[in-house]
Amino acid sequence: MATREEKIRKKQERSLRRIQKRIQKDKEYMERAFLDYLPGIGFARRVHKGSQHLCEMRYASCELRGYCNGDC
């Protein structure tokens, strides 16, 4: 049977792993935002996950409009 101190330590370790995982993901998104000149981490996360589309000319609204105004 685990003692109270062991339970607390395990819970803190899990918490630290979650936080470190989030920090690592945010670093990846910040790199992508910086390299691709994206407006922010949230936008970079959506592009990375595929829920936000960017065309070749870096327009995000082409897919929403249904056409790309011929620049691409």
Question: How distant, in Å, are the alpha carbons of 6, 8, 20, 37 from that of 43?
Answer: 40, 37, 21, 11
Two structure tokens written together for 54: 């960017």
- Per the CB < 8 A criterion, the answer to whether 32 and 38 are in contact is yes
pLDDT, tens digit, 9 for 90 and up, residues 13-67: 999 999 999 999 988 888 878 777 778 888 888 888 877 777 766 666 676 666 6
Higher pLDDT, residue 65 or 3: 3
Confidence of residue 69 (pLDDT cuts 50, 70, 90): low
Burial (CB count <10 Å: 0-12, 13-18, 19+), residue 60: middle
* Statement: the pTM of the whole predicted model exceeds 0.75: no
